Amino acid sequence: MSRYKSSLNLIQERSFVAWTRAEKKRWLLTLMIGTAAAYATRTSLPILLPAISKERHWSKKESGALLSAFFWGYTLTQVAGGYLSDRIGGLRVIFISAIGWSLLTFTMPFSIRFIEDPDQSVQFIVLIRILNGAFQGVHFPSMISLTSQKLPEMERSSFFSAVTAGSAIGTLVSGTLGSYFLETFGWPIVFYMLGSLAFLWALLLRFQMLKSDYKESPIIPEKQNRNVPWLRLLWCQPFWACVTAHACQMNCFFVMMSWLPTYFHDNFPDQKRWVVNMVPWLFLMPCTFIAKAISERLLRSGKSTTETRKIIESICFIAQISGLAGLAGSHGSFGAALFCSGLIIGAAGFHNTSVAVNAQDLAPRHAGSAFGLVNTLGAIPGFLGVLFAGHLLHAYHSWPVLFRLTAGIDLIGWAVFVLYGSAESVI
């Protein structure tokens, strides 16, 4: 046993080369901008869909298929992205994928108008959205792998949560500039703008890699066993608690991200688009940094990592369930609906500081692969939820039923993680 521990320590020493303080700041900013670009392109279709659906005569059932298609592809590449990042380096995987999803975003207007028949057009765009999701699916597993390789354990959670705050920036960009360009120039220009900005970021990332003569060594050295002990991980109760909590929270987040613009369009058609597409996302970044501060304070006060993760995730689920209940009973109040939406979106900032980094706790030497599996299993209810929401709204025309169902799913995830979650390493 002592020989195994000394061998493990030797592996970690050889594979861990931490960023300097200057490098950490530079890569934090670069990756935050990249996450912003990814989310700006990801949320572009939900924001533009009411206008596109009107032009193409798509129903909510067809809209649901288009919105959920992204997450089908997103699910497929999670494990592969983490596995490759653990072995060839996270930045290389992020760069290659960014080229793909930026170009697909830029060419989306051509894809939408390529086929005149509405039914065949939907099928073709579903394929494009799946491919787009597949390219973006490697983004977060690659970052998890990268932070595990380049940051000390105590800094990984705060760094990752800070980078994910870029999702709020990206959604604000698509919500404000996207809404302005939509009303002024039409929906195609939004795809051109966001696709171009994303492609420029990919070139910036490559420049940063070349400028710093960036070299990544694999987390597991070449001569060591590269196999991930999947069976040991899958047999672990805390792993499934993490998966369940992540799946339930992702279901809520994906449904809100995909359907919130349509909800406001249906229920408050006279309100400015930029307001409804921007204000809820203003909550995410402050909540992310508040969650980060609370988490660090709890750890300094002597709370274990497991206790800290459970407290932060509990705040996330309490806020989301409260917001969903408020939306279900808002009764036509625009201000109440806007606040409740912001509460739900902002709660994701707490999730990003707890369950979203729990894979690193459970599998520090296989962080990219483990997070990829967690995100794969977690995203399945997400894309099914987005698709089911379209069928539900098409059949019953009831937003309160959708919000109550989503709150019930959140409650399950909260209970499972509090009872069975852990931050102790298992592999």
CATH (residue range 13-420): 1.20.1250.20
Length, in residues, of the chain: 427
pLDDT tens, position by position, 7-31: 434 444 444 567 788 888 888 999 9
Confidence of residue 213 (pLDDT cuts 50, 70, 90): low
Mean residue pLDDT of the chain comes to: 85
201-210, 320-329, 361-370: which has the minimum mean pLDDT? Answer: 361-370
**Is pLDDT larger for residue 48 or for residue 117?**
48
Structure tokens given for 141: 């597993």
pLDDT tens, position by position, 32-65: 999 999 999 998 998 898 889 888 888 888 888 8
- What's the sign of the alpha-carbon dihedral 85, 90, 96, 102? positive
pLDDT tens, position by position, 75-84: 888 888 888 8
Per-residue model confidence (pLDDT) at position 341: 94
Per-residue model confidence (pLDDT) at position 8: 39
Per-residue model confidence (pLDDT) at position 17: 65
Mean pLDDT for 134-156 is 83
Per the CB < 8 A criterion, the answer to whether 327 and 365 are in contact is: no
What interhelical angle do 153-164 and 21-42 show, nearest 10? Answer: 40
**To the nearest 10°, the Cα dihedral for 175, 383, 337, 354?**
-90
Per-residue model confidence (pLDDT) at position 289: 86
Per the CB < 8 A criterion, the answer to whether 347 and 323 are in contact is: yes
- What's the sign of the alpha-carbon dihedral 3, 148, 360, 70? negative
| Domain spans, the chain | 13-420
Per-residue model confidence (pLDDT) at position 97: 94
**% of the chain at pLDDT higher than 90:** 37
Per-residue model confidence (pLDDT) at position 12: 43
The yes-or-no verdict on residue 228 having pLDDT over 80 is no
